[in-house]
Amino acid sequence: MSRDASIKAFEEAQSLIPGGVNSPVRAFKSVGGTPLFITEGEGAYLTDIDGNKYIDFVQSWGPLLFGHRDETIEKAVIEAVKHGLSFGAPTLAETELAKLVISFFDSMDKVRFVSSGTEAVMSAIRLARGFTGRDDIVKFTGCYHGHSDSLLVQAGSGAATFGNPSSPGVPADFTKHTLLAEYNNIESVKKCFNDSQTIACVIIEPIAGNMGLVPADKEFLHALRELCDANGTLLIFDEVMSGFRASVNGAESLTGVKPDIVTLGKVIGGGMPVGAFGARAEIMSKLSPEGPVYQAGTLSGNPVAMAAGFAALTKLKQNARVISVLEERAKRLVEGMQEAASACGITMQIDVRGSMFGFFFNEKPVKNFADACNSDAELFAKFHSGMLNEGFYFACSLYETGFISTAITDEMIEETIKASAKVLKEISNG
C-alpha cells in the first residue's frame, strides 16, 4: 500500500503549517508514520490521495453518524448554500434547530449556538460563573473540554489541587481558579469543595471520550449531583463528543442524573462546525442580551451549518432506534477484537456506549486517566499501523474513542475483526 503522495503532501504542509496539521491529534505522533491526506469520503469509506480506501472508524471524530456524504444532509447543505453562506442576522433555521435540540433534553429550556465545542464549553463556564457569582471550577484529569486557557491544566501532587498550566502561553493566573479531581473518585471531588467555598461549577464528560472511552459510574454521577446541590454549584455535562452518539436523549437518560448545563457539538452540525450550550430558562436568562453575561459570535448560527444540523437530527429523531443498532455493531466489533487479542495472549479492555466504542491494551479495567496511561502505547501503535495497512482507519491515539456510523455494515464489522486477528497474531509472533 503506497503512501508516497501523503508523505510528499505532509512534507509540504510542514513548511507552511505548524507540524503540518491544523489540529495536533492528526499528526500521527503517538502512533508513528505519516498522516493520511484524504481526498474523499463516501459512506463508510475514506480515500487518500494515493487512492487507498479505508473503512473509517473515526467519522471526522464523531459528527458523521450517518457516514460520509449522507444524501439527506448533503442535499440540505446544497440548498442552504444557494441562499447564501452567511448573513450575520437571525434566520428561521436557528429557531428550528433550537426547537429540535431542546426536544431531546429534559434539562434544557433554551440553547445558544456557537461555532465549536471549545467555544460552547468556554461560554458555559462563563455563564455558570455569572449565574453563581463565583470564580472556581472543578474539572477531572483526563477529561478534555477544548483548549481554552482555564481548562488547559495539569494535576499537582495531590488527588485534587488547584491546577497549573499544561501549555506555554497560559498564565498561571488563568488556571488558579481551576481545581482538579480524579474521574470516578467522589472523595477527590469532596476535597475540592473542602479547598474552596467559591466553586461555580463542576464540568465533566459523563461519558469520557478523550482518554479513550471511559464512562462515569452512575453512582459517582449521582453523588456528584448531590454534592453540587449541597454546595449551590452548577453541574455541567460536556457532551460535545457523546451527545446524540451515546444516546438520543443524552447521558442524563442513561444515568438518571440531570445536569444544570449541557454542552454539545459534533452531531448537531452534521459535519459542519457547530457547538451549542443549553440549560433551564433561569440560567440561560443571565446570557446577553437578555442578561449581563456576555457571549457573542459573528458566525454563530451560520445558516449552512444550521441546515446540516437540522437534517442530521431530524433524520435521527425519525430513526431513533438506530443508536441501538449501532450499539450492537459496536459491541460485536470490540468483543470480536477482544477474542482475537485473547487468542494471542493479549489482554484488551473494551467498552461501548451507543455508537461509541473504546479499547485499551491493558491488564486492568480503565476507570480514570491514570488507568488509561498504564495501557500499552507501543502495542497500540503497532496495532494502528497494522490495521491501517489492512485498510481500516482507527483514531491515531489510544486516548481517543472510535465511532460506528450507519454506513458501516455487519459485514464490514466481521471484516474488521478478521483483520484485527491477523494483525494481532503478527504482532504477537514478533
DSSP annotation of 139? E
Helices (DSSP H) in 285-409: which residue ranges? Answer: 303-318, 322-343, 369-373, 377-390
Output the nine-digit C-alpha cell for 403.
465511532
Residue 144 annotated as catalytic: yes
Q: What are phi and psi of 187, to 5 degrees?
A: -65, -35
Determine how β-strand 356-360 pairs with β-strand 349-353: antiparallel
Residue 266 annotated as catalytic: yes
CA-CA-CA-CA torsion sign (109, 114, 120, 122)? negative
Helices (DSSP H) in 135-217: which residue ranges? Answer: 172-175, 186-195
Q: Contact 421/340 with Cβ under 8 angstroms? A: yes
DSSP annotation of 275? E
Q: Contact 372/364 with Cβ under 8 angstroms? A: no
Q: Which of 136, 238, 260, 351 is catalytic?
A: 238
- C-alpha span between 326 and 137 (Å, rounded): 35
Helix (H, G, I), strand (E, B), or coil: what is residue 1? coil
Beta-carbon contacts of residue 29 (< 8 Å; ≥ 6 apart): none
Q: Which of 54, 144, 183, 393 is catalytic?
A: 144
Q: What is the DSSP string of 232-257?
A: T-EEEEEETTTBTTTBTT-HHHHH--
Q: Which of 139, 266, 315, 382 is catalytic?
A: 266
Q: At what angle do helices 303-318 and 71-81 cross, to 10 degrees?
A: 150
Look at the block and give the residue holding cell 469520503.
41
Determine how β-strand 392-393 pairs with β-strand 53-56: parallel
What are the catalytic residues?
Answer: 144, 238, 266
